[in-house]
A and B are shown apart, each in its own frame.
Chain A
Amino acid sequence: MSNATQTTNKPSVMDFLTRPAVKWVLGALLVGFLALLPMLNLSIPGVLPGATYTPGTLQLLAFTMLIAGLALSYHLIFGVAGLLSFGHALYFAAGAYGLGIVLRRFEMELIPAIVITLVVGLLIAGVVGAVSLRVTGIGFAMVTLAFAQAGSVLVRRNADWTGGDEGLALDTTHIPDELVGVLNTRNLYWVCLAVLVLVFLVTSWFEKSRAGHVVAATRENELRVRVIGIRPYFVKLLTFIVAGVLATIVGMAYLLLQSSATQKIITADFTLTLLVIVVLGGVGYRWGAVIGGVVYTLLDQRLTVLAGSEAIAGLPDFLRIPLSEPLFILGTLFILVVLFLPGGIAGLAKRVTRGRSNVRAERDVLEEVV
């Protein structure tokens, strides 16, 4: 990748745009623009359900940002540390259900409730990480899956605490009025934007920290890291916990935004969705995880609308049935990306702008996992 600059001696526009300082400025501008969206009257027909100031659109955008944030936290485990976890939904659900239960049962103010939920998320991630990191590869994947299943069973069994199949509704008694109700969706939108920015900053900072470098090195060659005299276990555990806590934060924002938590968010399928998002966006790229989250959520949303449309209902069965199932289209798209586009969206963008084919290198990044 670095020899791309060597092949062209003239500084190009792309080289300027990918300088670190310029990247951060562009990022800040983007965040500023997103923060202004609730004041603007923009419509993108076919992508957004309405103008950007309407609550429905803001709700969808806020949800999209939360999924992007959650995907970022998964990127930290899967893309950076190279750990294939099948239980990431557990920490997200710990945030959503934890905050909901603390607010409802212990009648606390919002801030202390958030702090308690964070500690709970931290403890769960710590314990699960400490146990499951003792095995590697497929074993690790299975233990994390098993713990997430246990969480799912606990949520289903303790219906008087979690609401069981009905889901857990947010108790708004102790929530500030500014965060309740359809009219205040824009405030929730800003909260979700802030959460996404926070997760992105923490992820970037972690990746650039010493621990981040060690864990990336462990992904590439664990033996060499051991030979240097570093024990990878603790760094991996640290990464696991950071990712888990970030997921807990996103989960709490999810509860505030959606006003309820349902069992769907603790299933294995939900973690698989995160995996799909990260791979779709491009494994190893922070922006990839964000873009993957946005693309996936918007596609899911639009395809669901499309499925119910009259244009689809009029088609013959062999076209109508597949097209009316968003997950079928997304799953097929995912298979095609894995087969033909191993770098995902971010890898494709890089290839287009750099004009070089990196398929082999991108496949290798993917295979370093496990």
Chain B
Amino acid sequence: MSTIVLLLITGLGLGALYFLVASGLSLIYGLMDVLNFAHGSFLTLGAFAGWEFARRFGADSWGTFLLSLLVGAAVGAIFAVLTELLLIRKLYERLIEQVLVTVGLALATVALFEGIWGQDPIYLTAPAWMGGQTNVLGASIPNDRFLYIAAAVIVLIAIVLFLKFTRFGLIIRAGVENRSMVTALGIDVRSAFTLVFAIGGAAAGIGGVLASHYNGYVSPYIGGSLLIFAFIVTVIGGLGSLSGAAIASAVVAVLQQFANYHWGIGDLVVVLLLAAVLLLRPSGLLGSKA
């Protein structure tokens, strides 16, 4: 029983990280049909920014930690907005070229991060509580997992509230549904594009800071390794569906933890799940677009 609880909660903790990356990917794809390969770089830059901030202002205090999350979010959002304005916008309606540009950006920025911060992992420190454990139903859960879950839930609620109750959110939701109709009504969807990139970049930046705590280090590659799983989660959940991404993140990560614990084949199970879902339901769990 305690093992099940342990795997469940640690799985949800991992799923929270997946969600922070996948939510942006899914929104961007839903609105713009762009599969953003540079999303991992938003995350990595956010992680490095958070780390640089935290080490200057005392990494073991809570205040610094929370501020480092904000710094990561801000840096990720700025990077994402610049990407949208300078690269994606130039290739409006050129879907393949947009994907190619993000591929190029991902390759170039990872190399640049290597040049700036080196290829080796840089280990970091966190508030002492995060290294501790809490007993839940007989299982001792690492404390940081609760933090990841809380962060993901807050981000999910914030995005949902934004989409439901603001004018920009309305435009984004309508754009995901039918972009040409929104344009035909005289609304400039392109400002919504920038906004979606900003939201996705901020979520990825938070995800980056948290992922660096999850791993215990920052390196230029943390974005790339999370990105593949985030892609898989996004596709399983249904491209463009935020709730689909949330459900798929939890399912994929928990399944991965269980498969890893029992047979050590977590990655393989995730891949098989993706293949199975796509063959049975090509549009994903909650996706409307095929």
Give the distance in Å from the alpha carbon of A328 to the alpha carbon of B265 in the complex.
34
**Residues of chain B contacted by A37 (CB below 8 angstroms):** none
**Residues of chain A contacted by B224 (CB below 8 angstroms):** 269
Q: Mark A95-120, 1 if CB is under 8 A from B, else 0.
A: 00000000000000000000000000
Q: Which of A114-168 contact B (CB under 8 A)?
A: 131, 134-135, 138-139, 141-143, 145-147, 149-150, 153-154, 157
B278 touches A322 (CB 8 A): no
B-binding residues in A (CB < 8 A):
84, 131, 134-135, 138-139, 141-143, 145-147, 149-150, 153-154, 157, 268-269, 272, 275-276, 279, 321-322, 324-328, 330-332, 334-335, 338-339, 342, 363, 366-367, 369-370
**Residues of chain A contacted by B132 (CB below 8 angstroms):** none
Q: Which of B212-248 contact A (CB under 8 A)?
A: 224, 228, 231-232, 235, 239
**Residues of chain B contacted by A135 (CB below 8 angstroms):** 278-279, 282
**Residues of chain B contacted by A325 (CB below 8 angstroms):** 111-112, 114-115
A142 touches B278 (CB 8 A): yes
A143 touches B274 (CB 8 A): yes
A366 touches B35 (CB 8 A): no
**Residues of chain A contacted by B185 (CB below 8 angstroms):** none
CB of B164 within 8 Å of the partner chain? no
Q: Size of chain B's interface in residues, with CB distance under 8 A?
A: 43
Q: Is the interface of B mostly helix, strand, loop or mixed?
A: helix
Q: Which one, B94-102, B155-163, B188-196, is touching chain A?
A: B94-102
Q: List 15 A-B contacts (CB under 8 A).
A: A131-B275, A135-B279, A142-B231, A145-B228, A146-B271, A147-B275, A150-B267, A157-B265, A276-B104, A321-B112, A327-B107, A327-B111, A331-B104, A339-B90, A369-B96
CB distance from A366 to the nearest CB of B (A): 5
Of B90, B108, B239, B267, the residue contacting A138 (CB under 8 A) is: B239
Beta-carbon nearest neighbor of A365 in chain B? B96
B268 touches A322 (CB 8 A): no
Give the distance in Å from the alpha carbon of A139 to the alpha carbon of B112 in the complex.
30
Give the distance in Å from the alpha carbon of A268 to the alpha carbon of B110 in the complex.
14
**Residues of chain A contacted by B87 (CB below 8 angstroms):** 335, 339
Beta-carbon nearest neighbor of A323 in chain B? B115
A139 touches B271 (CB 8 A): no
A328 touches B108 (CB 8 A): yes
CB of B67 within 8 Å of the partner chain? no
Give the distance in Å from the alpha carbon of A363 to the alpha carbon of B93 in the complex.
11
New contact pairs (7) apart from A135-B278, A157-B264, CB-CB < 8 Å? A147-B275, A153-B267, A272-B106, A279-B100, A322-B115, A332-B108, A334-B104
- Most chain-B CB neighbours within 10 Å: which of A134, A139, A370? A139
Of A131, A142, A147, A335, the residue contacting B104 (CB under 8 A) is: A335
Give the distance in Å from the alpha carbon of A143 to the alpha carbon of B232 in the complex.
9
A367 touches B96 (CB 8 A): yes
CB of B182 within 8 Å of the partner chain? no
CB of B116 within 8 Å of the partner chain? yes
B232 touches A150 (CB 8 A): no
Give the distance in Å from the alpha carbon of A157 to the alpha carbon of B264 in the complex.
9
CB of B91 within 8 Å of the partner chain? yes
B101 touches A328 (CB 8 A): no
CB distance from A144 to the nearest CB of B (A): 10
Give the top 8 A-B pairs by smallest Cβ distance, nearest first: A331-B108, A327-B111, A331-B107, A328-B111, A334-B104, A321-B115, A325-B111, A335-B104
- Most chain-B CB neighbours within 10 Å: which of A143, A146, A147, A330? A146
**Residues of chain B contacted by A149 (CB below 8 angstroms):** 228, 267, 271
Give the distance in Å from the alpha carbon of A327 to the alpha carbon of B106 in the complex.
10
B91 touches A339 (CB 8 A): yes
Are A139 and B278 CB-contacts (below 8 A) given A276-B103, A279-B100? Answer: yes
CB distance from A306 to the nearest CB of B (A): 13
Give the distance in Å from the alpha carbon of A298 to the alpha carbon of B1 in the complex.
58
Give the distance in Å from the alpha carbon of A147 to the alpha carbon of B228 in the complex.
12
B274 touches A146 (CB 8 A): yes
B107 touches A330 (CB 8 A): yes
A276 touches B96 (CB 8 A): no
Of B37, B111, B278, the residue contacting A326 (CB under 8 A) is: B111
- Most chain-A CB neighbours within 10 Å: which of B100, B231, B265, B272? B100
**Residues of chain B contacted by A335 (CB below 8 angstroms):** 87, 101, 104-105, 108
Beta-carbon nearest neighbor of B231 in chain A? A142
**Residues of chain A contacted by B115 (CB below 8 angstroms):** 321-322, 324-325, 328
Of B94, B104, B239, B264, the residue contacting A332 (CB under 8 A) is: B104
Beta-carbon nearest neighbor of A332 in chain B? B108
Give the distance in Å from the alpha carbon of A325 to the alpha carbon of B268 in the complex.
33
CB distance from B46 to the nearest CB of A (A): 19
Beta-carbon nearest neighbor of B90 in chain A? A339
Give the distance in Å from the alpha carbon of A338 to the alpha carbon of B99 in the complex.
10
**Residues of chain A contacted by B104 (CB below 8 angstroms):** 276, 331-332, 334-335, 338
Give the distance in Å from the alpha carbon of A157 to the alpha carbon of B266 in the complex.
12
Give the distance in Å from the alpha carbon of A330 to the alpha carbon of B111 in the complex.
10
Give the distance in Å from the alpha carbon of A53 to the alpha carbon of B36 in the complex.
45
Give the distance in Å from the alpha carbon of A272 to the alpha carbon of B279 in the complex.
24
